[in-house]
Amino acid sequence: MSFPGSILMGAQSQLLDPTIPYRFFAAALVFHILLWALIAAFPADIAAFGGGPGPALAALHSLTLGVLAMTAMGVSFQMLPVATGMLLRGATAPRAASWFFIPGTAVLVWGMATGEHPVMALGGLGVALGLAIYMVLVAGLLWRILRRAVTFEPLSGFGLAALAALAVALALGLALIVDDDHGFLHDRAGVITLHFVAAGFGFMGMLALGFSHILVPLFALSEGVPVGESRTVFTLAVAGLLAALAGIFLGIPLLTAAGALSGLLGVALHLRGMTHCLATAMRRKLGVSILLMRTGWFFLVASLMLGLATVFDLAGDRGFALFVFVALFGWLLTFLLGALQRILPFLGAMNATSAGATPPLMSELAPEGPRRAHAACHVLALLLVAAGITLELPLPVRLGGLAGLFGALIYTAFALRVLWLIRGCLRAPKKTTETPETTDKEKP
């Protein structure tokens, strides 16, 4: 892997129109607030959720589509060109993806909350069209990167695997929407499990592993993970995902368990590489963002162990529900929020520099106080909601939802502050250097 300096050289020339990635980020902030509001408002549905339309399903997809996939699209469209130097071919297609995906997600979540099948179908169509555009664009970009730059092989490999898993998850999700009205699936519970594993561990999981190879060295100013080690992580992760999906589809618990074990081995090697990056970093003080990312890694390991226990019916009646919560909220959401604490100021500063303005300092763009307050609220929310799901008690879920909602509002204020400062920086008059010739001409 290359040094961060080589990533940043000429990166400003790869920037898209800022309205493209930031529209996805802004939508993700709204859905982040919505998901915790739904949890706080309907704690009994969350605590006893076992499937089917309602507020719990709406909250779940506010997270998976509204926050995780929404952010993945914004990050992919902007950070892939910045990190690799490969430009997207035009800005119309990313805009079109947002026109379908953002309103489609809103309509789908509304349909899930109310249980109205035609609304769900309409929203699902919008989501499918937006994701189809995204998959074509990013697959083409990753393929060009893989052919021209061996340095970015880990990023390309994980990214292409993530897109393949997304295609499977999307097909299964659409099948579940149709089945909700027509009931043609013989094993709906099995399809739901396949959909969750393909979307959570396949699409978002592979993206998280792939982008970590770029983002962690970039944030920490360290050398990246060796390509050979990344290949081993990739092999173990993909083998684990395929084995788990095959085990679920065929009803073979031992095969599913083998997939979880392969995933654990891959994660252990991945975390060793990330730890080495942080230990050899030139920038050691990464603040709360790296704590959230480390917390996400902890929950990643916990989710795989919990999934392994669920396969052998060792996690109790609420084991699967807790497994889903730990994987999506504990791992993916926590890791993503930590990464975004660095991505938003980074992109904002780059946009300001590209426009010829002097960006504010990182300490001004991303002060520690609000980020610490958000992190405390987020972790408290995770613990309370997890306890409520385990015990099937609405009160801890409501308290956790309120803590998460308060944290989401703090996080939104932090993100809006970054955008406001960058906007002010762009609107400030540019300083010009006065030459003796111009000075003499201005004198009467």
Domains parsed from the chain with CATH numbers: 4-180+188-424 (1.20.210.10)
The dihedral built from the CA positions of residue 338, 321, 385 and 70, taken in this order, carries a sign that is positive
Q: Which helix (H) or strand (E) holds 325?
A: helix 319-325
Q: Which two tokens stand for residue 157?
A: 């490999």
Task: Say whether 265 sits in a helix, a strand or coil.
Answer: helix
pLDDT in tens, 269-323: 999 999 988 888 887 777 888 999 999 999 999 999 999 999 998 988 889 999 9
Mean pLDDT for all residues in the chain: 87
Non-local CB neighbours of 22 within 8 Å, separated by 6+ positions = 74, 419
Q: Which residue has the higher pLDDT, 168 or 444?
A: 168
Other beta carbons within 10 Å of 224: 25
Residue of 337, 331, 323 lying closest to 386 (CA atoms): 323
Q: Which two tokens stand for residue 241?
A: 């995902």
Tell me which range, 177-186, 344-353, 386-395, is most confidently predicted by mean pLDDT: 386-395
Q: In the chain, count of helices (H) and strands (E)?
A: 19, 0
* Token pair 């930031």: residue: 22
Residue of 112, 27, 106, 109 lying closest to 67 (CA atoms): 27
Neighbour-count burial of 137, counting CB atoms closer than 10 A to its CB (0-12 exposed, 13-18 middle, 19+ buried)? buried
For residue 227, pLDDT over 90 is answered with: no
Q: Which residue has the higher pLDDT, 38 or 91?
A: 38
CA–CA separation, 140 and 207 (whole Å): 16
Amino acid identity, residue 155? L
The angle at the Cα of 19, spanning 16 to 20, to the nearest 5 degrees, equals: 60
Residue of 368, 348, 369, 370 lying closest to 358 (CA atoms): 348
CA–CA separation, 293 and 285 (whole Å): 14
pLDDT in tens, 326-372: 999 999 999 999 999 888 888 877 777 666 667 666 667 777 888 99
Q: What are phi and psi of 144, to 5 degrees?
A: -65, -40
* Token pair 């990182």: residue: 362
Amino acid identity, residue 116? E
pTM of the model: 0.91
Task: Say whether 398 sits in a helix, a strand or coil.
Answer: helix
Residue 396 near residue 387, CB atoms below 8 Å: yes
